[in-house]
Every structure is written in structure tokens, then in C-alpha cells.
Amino acid sequence: MTRPYNFSAGPAAMPEEVLHLAASEMLDWHESGMGVMEMSHRGSEFISIYEQAEVDFRELLDIPKEFKILFMQGGGLGENAIVPMNLSKGGEIDFVLSGSWGQKSFKEATKYATPRLAATSESEGFTRLPDPSTWSLSKEASYVHLCTNETIHGVECHTLPNLKALGSKAPLVIDFSSHVLSRTVDWSRVGLAFAGAQKNIGPAGLTIVVVREVLIGQAMDICPSAFDYKLVSAAESMYNTPPTYAIYIAGLTFQWMKRQEEGGQQGVGAMELRNKAKAQLLYDFLDNSSFYENRVNPMDRSRMNVPFFLKDETRNEAFLKGAKANGLLQLKGHKSVGGMRASIYNAMPLKGVQVLVEYLREFERSYS
Ligand SMILES: *Cc1c(COP(=O)(O)O)cnc(C)c1O
């Protein structure tokens, strides 16, 4: 059976191999007599799953040892509160906004701290990343927040800013939920990175936080214990029960990723090459068409989330119906932006994007 191609923005398509493997181990993991959902998180079986997942994640993203990796719950929106409670001491935070996820983070931070708008592209409909030379950063800021891939607006930061060169001493906090593991990360420019798992990693419910050890240990008194990085870190992410099954699936995805090869590269390097090829194929087609359009500044376009519009929007419904009939699912755009959106995360093969482009071409032809 061939499954349809699923372009959901999240929770999103998983590598089929991972789903098959998880299914085969559902009732009995490695002859333990138990499924992973049924194991104590403190037992040796689960501890081995957890440790391997952490090692693989660190290896895939080449995370230096001065960073701790925390497996938490609460999602991206949870971190919008958890990060300020852990890093801001109630003081100033600089926000750079290039889409609605950054906006949400800003709004949540007002409950705990004093967010400042360092830069925003809102007046341009969030179709670009504000140029770093225009950011107005505060000397007092406890950190600078940037969502490095705006899932809804399709804006991606392709080079992490060098805050020191911009006159700020603050650490950079990135929400990389929707492009984690799709590309390499320059950790020298990062203080903390967080990601919900449901885009590029695995099931919803797991949130991964990568944080410099020097930033741990300054949580505000109001911070719930289960969300205090110091307590979570000291307990190796077992302060309370972690999302065990989600961690297991994430681990299977990491192993799958390590097996991927492309252009002489493995792991994230292979994913990045594939993701570039997929995105280029789709953007090139859209740019050369007079029937469809993508409105994002070409320099800032996301490789993961490609919002696009039919120039004649009265055809949207027919487009989506035809797409579904052709085995192309969940292409409807986010309600705040409208139009269509193709999310082409790691698990989407090049073939899926080729089939999508073929459908786009056919649909256009049927109207000319
Ligand atoms: C999906 C997503 C989130 C998700 O937050 P949840 O609380 O897990 O729903 C956060 N940030 C970005 C950039 C996202 O794409």
C-alpha cells in the first residue's frame, strides 16, 4: 500500500520506516515482554532508550558539551512561559518578530517580564526577516528571542545573527520547532534553543530544550518546579515522568536520520541537502507560474513551510479537493494567512514534492 503524501504543518508526517518499526515493537520491545508505553521511566529498559536518544540528538546536531539537552513537556507555547521564567529574572527581553510564532512568544512573555520590540516585519505582512542591521537591541536585555522558522508565514532565518557584532551581550534564544534537524546549527551563536517535537521529530508531547549550562539556575520563584531547568537538568529530565513514548519515537527518528545518506553526507547534512533540493523544486515552480505565487522575500524563504496562493482564490476548494483525490493531503493554508501551505519536513521525500509539483502543473493546465 502506498500512503498519500501528507503536507501537514504539524503534527506532521513521520518516516514510514519509523512507523513500521514502532508498530512491530508495540507489544514487546526487544523481548522485554513490555511495550514502551508500559515501562517504568526509571527502569533500565527505558533509561537505555532515553540515553541513546539523547546521544543521537547531540551527535546529529553536533551540540557542544557546554549545552544541556532537556526532554520536557509543555510544547512550544509552554516554553514561551518557561524560558522567561528561567532566564529573564523579570527584566527586559528583546524580541525580533518575523511571524506569528514570535508574536505569541512576545505576548506570553509580558506575563513574566518586560519584552521589547527590537524589530518586526509585521508592516510587511511578515514576508521577511527584519535585517539584523535594523535591530534595536537593549543593553539591559536578559536575552534576545527569535523564532528561526516561522511555520505559518514561511520565513526562515538562514544565518543566525551574531549578537555580539550587533552590540548586544545577551544570549540568543531560538524557537527552532519547525526546522530542528533540517539543517546544521551554529551553536556558538546560541544560548538556548527549544523545539516541540511534532514537526520534525516525532509525536506531540515532547519538547526538547538545548541550553547552555551557564544559563541554568536563575529561575524566578514563581517558576513551577517541573519547569525549572535546574531541577530538570539535575534529574536528567526525570524530575517528573517524561513523555516516554514520544521520546522513544523521537529516538527511532534520530536513528533513521543517522542512516540517511545524500551527496556523500549523512544525518543532518544529508537532510539539509535533500531539504534544499525539495524547497528549490517547489519555489522554482511557483516563481515561474502566473497561476500561483509565494510572497516571501526570496532570501528569507523557509525550506520547511511553503505558503502559496492561487491568484484566483475562487479555485481554492477545487484545488484542495483535487489534491486529496491525487493523494496529497493537508495543503490548506493556516487560517490567519489563507491560501495553501506545503510543509515539507525531513520525512517528506523528494518524490512527494515532485508529485505535488506535477499536480500543481496539471491543475493550472486544466484552467488554461
Ligand atoms: C508548532 C510550533 C510551536 C508549537 O507549539 P505547541 O505548544 O507545541 O503547540 C511553537 N513554535 C513554532 C515555531 C512552531 O512551529
Q: Catalytic amino acids? A: 101, 175, 199
pLDDT digits (tens, 9 = 90+) for 66-84: 999 999 999 999 999 999 9
Atom 10, ligand 1: residue with shortest CA distance: 76
Distance between CA atoms of residues 84 and 115, nearest Å: 9
Per-residue pLDDT, averaged over 2-9, amounts to 96
At 251 the three-state DSSP class reads helix
1 band by pLDDT with thresholds 50, 70 and 90: low
The confidence score (pLDDT) of residue 368 equals 78
59 band by pLDDT with thresholds 50, 70 and 90: very high
The confidence score (pLDDT) of residue 313 equals 96
Distance of CA 139 to the CA centre of its chain: 29
In CATH terms, 17-257 corresponds, of 3.90.1200.10, 2.10.240.10, 3.40.190.10, 3.40.640.10, to 3.40.640.10
Return the residue matching grid coordinates 500561483: 292
At 344 the three-state DSSP class reads coil
The confidence score (pLDDT) of residue 337 equals 94
pLDDT digits (tens, 9 = 90+) for 143-184: 999 999 999 999 999 999 999 999 999 999 999 999 999 999
Q: Is the beta carbon of 305 within 6 A of some atom in ligand 1?
A: no
Q: What are phi and psi of 82, to 5 degrees?
A: -70, -40
Distance between CA atoms of residues 225 and 12, nearest Å: 31
Cα distances from 214 to residues 124, 191, 311, in angstroms, run 37, 9, 50
% residues pLDDT > 70 (the chain): 100
Q: Give the nearest ligand 1 atom to 176 CA.
A: 13
Assess whether pLDDT exceeds 80 at residue 358: yes
Contacting residues for 87 by C-beta, under 8 A, at least 6 apart: 142, 143, 171, 173, 191, 192, 215, 218
One-character DSSP codes across 109-147? HTTTSEEEEEEE-GGGTS-SPPPGGG----TT-S-EEEE
The confidence score (pLDDT) of residue 343 equals 98
The confidence score (pLDDT) of residue 116 equals 98
Q: 342: which strand partners?
A: 306
2 band by pLDDT with thresholds 50, 70 and 90: confident
Whether the domain at 17-257 and the domain at 265-367 fall into the same CATH topology: no
Q: What are phi and psi of 234, to 5 degrees?
A: -60, -30
Distance between CA atoms of residues 200 and 177, nearest Å: 8
pLDDT digits (tens, 9 = 90+) for 191-202: 999 999 999 999
Atom 4, ligand 1: residue with shortest CA distance: 76
Assess whether pLDDT exceeds 70 at residue 295: yes
At 258 the three-state DSSP class reads helix
Question: C-alpha grid cell for residue 72?
Answer: 520536557
Distance between CA atoms of residues 266 and 200, nearest Å: 17
Domain boundaries, the chain: 17-257, 265-367
Q: Is the beta carbon of 97 within 6 A of some atom in ligand 1?
A: no
Q: What is the DSSP letter of 40?
A: -
At 192 the three-state DSSP class reads strand
- Return the CATH class of domain 265-367: alpha beta
Assess whether pLDDT exceeds 90 at residue 53: yes
Q: Is the beta carbon of 196 within 6 A of some atom in ligand 1?
A: yes
Contact 68, 179 (CB under 8 A): no
Distance between CA atoms of residues 206 and 225, nearest Å: 18
Assess whether pLDDT exceeds 90 at residue 41: yes
Question: C-alpha grid cell for residue 96?
Answer: 525580533
Assess whether pLDDT exceeds 90 at residue 55: yes
Could you tell me the distance, in angstroms and rounded to a whole number, from the CA of residue 10 to the centre of ligand 1? Answer: 8
State which of 77, 153, 173, 302 you would mutate to test the pocket of ligand 1, scoring each by most atoms of that ligand within 8 A of its C-beta. 77
Per-residue pLDDT, averaged over 203-213, amounts to 98
Q: What does the mean pLDDT of the chain come to?
A: 97
Query: C-alpha angle 150/184/127, rounded to 5°?
Result: 25
Could you tell me the distance, in angstroms and rounded to a whole number, from the CA of residue 364 to the centre of ligand 1? Answer: 33
Cis peptide before 307 (omega within 30 of 0): no
Contacts of 265-272 with CB under 8 Å at 24 or more apart are 267/59, 267/60, 268/60, 268/61, 268/62, 268/181, 268/182, 268/183, 268/184, 269/184, 271/181, 271/182, 271/183, 271/346, 272/182, 272/183, 272/184
pLDDT digits (tens, 9 = 90+) for 19-34: 999 999 999 999 999 9
Kindly compute the dihedral angle of the four CA atoms of residues 306, 268, 100, 207, in this order, to the nearest 10 degrees: 140
Query: C-alpha angle 274/185/73, rounded to 5°?
Result: 100
Q: Is 179 exposed, middle or buried (0-12, 13-18, 19+ CB in 10 A)?
A: buried
- Buried b / exposed e across 62-84, counting CB within 10 Å, b at 16+? ebeeebbbbbbbbbbebbbbbbb
